[in-house]
Amino acid sequence: MIMGERVKLTRPEGFFETFDRRPGAVKKNMHYCPGCGHGILHKLIAEALADFGILDRTTLISPVGCSVFAYYYFDCFGVQVPHGRSAAAATGLVRANRGSVVIGYQGDGDLAAIGFNNFIQAANRGENYCVFFVNNAIYGMTGGQMAPTSLIGQKTTTSPYGRSEINEGYPLKVSEMVAQLQAPVYVERVSLTSTRNIMKARQAVRKAIKNNIEKKGFSLVEVLSGCPVNLKMNTKQMDEFIDTRMTDYFPLGVYKDESAERQTITYPTPVFDAEKVREALYPDKIGEGVADDYRCGSAIFDRELRIKIAGFGGQGVLSLGLILAAMGKQRNFNVSWLPSYGPEMRGGTANCAIIVNRGTIGSPIVDSNCDLLLILNKPSLEKYLPELGENGVLFYDSSTIEEAPAVKPGQMLFDLNASDIAEAFGNLKCANAVVLGALSAILKARFLDERDAADIDQLVPDALRECFHGKEKIVNMNIEAYRLGQQKMSEKLTD
């Protein structure tokens, strides 16, 4: 306490004049039992909030426990949160509104048992708020059960033979633990047993709140407090218990204080300006593009196209599918791309289904009536050939599948040694681009009208740019492999 400073002996201004939030007839008094420490600590906090002039921007978080009704008394915002979740709620409150002051008020069960992980993680993140931790070594509201801070030998309703280090372990030293962390700015343990101790507690409360106002990070004040009712003591015995037994195990004092050295943390302002949001979220328009009403004219696009691609993981099966989907999207089709995921992936094979449709796409799953099957390994050929539709097209990589499969009448069969070509090209990873080139040659030769045939060589590079956005080197390499595949397949088709 600063010399000469006077402590007012009236109700602090941080409290309401009358406690109207409290239901029932009693509006002047608190609900706490005689000898309880909550009332004193409430006053110290209320006084500080009023003195600092921050009542209007403070939110007090009420925990589950006796202080669940703390919001009855404080003339500021109040929120009551699930048991143990004070630190998580505080994290949400401070991050959502960086100008606010947030007070976490927790008991030993709430903070050190059910909510300890949330508490220690918030402390470790250095959330900008302060926590007042009331340690009275017992559960109050629930009926005198053992707390994580109950002392060895202490008898409670759930440790009737006394807490034992063998069964329940040792009392949890919270301040000591928090002080070990990098982020917290200030940690002190105080008690409320004498005027001198209360004055120390008062300074601690003010320092913690000040750190919060000045955005210096996380502060903890642990307050050794009395619960005469559940500890079955009178107030004199209670103070003695705290001053000797509790203080022995939980020594009072400053465990960490970097308040003076810490700088104010500044936070960036969230962006909601429509133009800036568009810039951040909307994708870059790639390539020449076409008008929204552009329609590919070839007859094959008059109905839904069902495509399946399958091969080993690493052959670029999924990205080939993505490129096809991007091609469809860029020409105003609805597209769906569904990867195999889960156990199938780990078996070393990958597949994806792509559907291209001008209208609504129903099931995105291709397990029958497949129009185009692109097969890059033998196991997939055996597995998926039965799914090929009546007039379906099968393309397979003849580098990995030596024997030409038998297809039904009406079905069409094409092949190219795509992997060998990619390897000779210098990058096996480009096998999928070689396949894409082969596919474009087949489409041009057999399925596309003149305009669509001319369009595809424009469309593929644009689709590659969309899929590998910003990776110009990869895009160019794939375009080259695509052209190579197209050339080889054309030669084969004209043979």
Residues in 99-128 at the binding interface with another protein, rule: CB under 8 A = 99-100, 117-118, 121
Residue 78 interacts with another protein (CB under 8 A): yes or no = yes
CA 226 to chain CA centroid, Å, is 39
Torsion 43-45-48-54 (CA) sign: negative
The Cβ of residue 275 has, within 10 Å, a number of other Cβ atoms equal to: 8
* Residues of this chain, 367-396, that bind another protein according to CB under 8 A: 367-368
Among the residue ranges 166-174, 194-202, 209-217, 359-367, the one whose residues contact another protein (CB under 8 A): 359-367
Residue 354 sits at the vertex; the CA angle it makes with 350 and 355, to the nearest 5 degrees, is 160
Q: How many residues bind another protein (CB under 8 A)?
A: 77
The Cβ of residue 298 has, within 10 Å, a number of other Cβ atoms equal to: 16
Residue 329 interacts with another protein (CB under 8 A): yes or no = yes
Q: Give the pairing type, strands 219-224 and 253-257.
A: unpaired
Nearer residue to another protein within complex by CB, 117 or 235: 117
Residue 55 interacts with another protein (CB under 8 A): yes or no = yes
Q: Which of 39, 126, 162, 339 binds another protein (CB under 8 A)?
A: 339
> Residue 436: which of 398, 481, 475 has the closest Cα?
481
Among the residue ranges 57-65, 309-317, 396-404, 450-458, the one whose residues contact another protein (CB under 8 A): 57-65
Q: Which of 107, 228, 328, 392 binds another protein (CB under 8 A)?
A: 328
Q: What's the closest the beta carbon of residue 148 comes to another protein, in angstroms?
A: 18
Residue 466 interacts with another protein (CB under 8 A): yes or no = yes
Instruction: Tell me whether residue 480 is exposed, middle or buried, using C-beta atoms within 10 angstroms of its C-beta: 0 to 12, 13 to 18, 19 or more.
Output: middle
Q: What's the closest the beta carbon of residue 81 comes to another protein, in angstroms?
A: 6
Residue 71 interacts with another protein (CB under 8 A): yes or no = yes
Among the residue ranges 67-75, 202-210, 254-262, 481-489, the one whose residues contact another protein (CB under 8 A): 67-75
How far, CA to CA in Å, does 136 sit from each of 49, 157, 203, 336?
Answer: 24, 15, 20, 60
Nearer residue to another protein within complex by CB, 339 or 405: 339
Residue 468 interacts with another protein (CB under 8 A): yes or no = no
What is the length of the chain? 495
* Amino acid, res. 299: A
Q: Taking phi first (over 0 means left), then psi (-120 to 50 degrees means alpha), and beta for anything else, what does residue 35 get? A: left
Nearer residue to another protein within complex by CB, 45 or 242: 45
Supply φ then ψ for residue 13, to 5 degrees.
-65, -20
Cα separation, 113 vs 116, in Å, equals: 5
* Residues of this chain, 198-257, that bind another protein according to CB under 8 A: none
Q: Which token pair is 237? A: 């015995």
Cα separation, 443 vs 453, in Å, equals: 8
Nearer residue to another protein within complex by CB, 166 or 281: 281
Cα separation, 23 vs 35, in Å, equals: 23
Q: What's the closest the beta carbon of residue 473 comes to another protein, in angstroms?
A: 19
Among the residue ranges 61-69, 203-211, 406-414, 470-478, the one whose residues contact another protein (CB under 8 A): 61-69
Q: What's the closest the beta carbon of residue 335 comes to another protein, in angstroms?
A: 5
Nearer residue to another protein within complex by CB, 170 or 341: 341
Q: What's the closest the beta carbon of residue 324 comes to another protein, in angstroms?
A: 11
Angle between helices 450-467 and 317-330 (to 10 degrees): 120
Residue 57 interacts with another protein (CB under 8 A): yes or no = yes
* Residues of this chain, 266-325, that bind another protein according to CB under 8 A: 268-272, 274, 276-285, 289, 322, 325
Residue 59 interacts with another protein (CB under 8 A): yes or no = yes
Q: What's the closest the beta carbon of residue 189 comes to another protein, in angstroms?
A: 25
Residue 161 interacts with another protein (CB under 8 A): yes or no = no
Torsion 420-421-425-429 (CA) sign: negative
**223-260 per-residue burial string, b: 16 or more CB within 10 A, e: under 16:** bbbbbbbbbebeeeebbebbbeebbeebebeebbbebe
Q: What's the closest the beta carbon of residue 69 comes to another protein, in angstroms?
A: 8
Q: Which token pair is 135? A: 């340690």
Residue 160 interacts with another protein (CB under 8 A): yes or no = no
Residue 32 interacts with another protein (CB under 8 A): yes or no = no
Residue 132 interacts with another protein (CB under 8 A): yes or no = no
Nearer residue to another protein within complex by CB, 10 or 269: 269
Q: What's the closest the beta carbon of residue 212 comes to another protein, in angstroms?
A: 14
Nearer residue to another protein within complex by CB, 43 or 85: 85
Nearer residue to another protein within complex by CB, 68 or 309: 68
Q: Which token pair is 352? A: 């994806």
Residue 77 interacts with another protein (CB under 8 A): yes or no = yes
Residue 18 interacts with another protein (CB under 8 A): yes or no = no
Q: Which of 19, 105, 337, 482 binds another protein (CB under 8 A)?
A: 337
Range 9-12 contact pairs with CB under 8 angstroms and sequence separation of 24 or more? 11/43, 12/43, 12/46, 12/47, 12/50
* Residues of this chain, 83-102, that bind another protein according to CB under 8 A: 85, 87-97, 99-100
Residue 17 interacts with another protein (CB under 8 A): yes or no = no
How far, CA to CA in Å, does 322 sit from each of 224, 264, 266, 353, 467?
Answer: 62, 47, 41, 10, 7
Nearer residue to another protein within complex by CB, 77 or 241: 77
The Cβ of residue 461 has, within 10 Å, a number of other Cβ atoms equal to: 17
Helix (H, G, I), strand (E, B) or coil at 242: helix
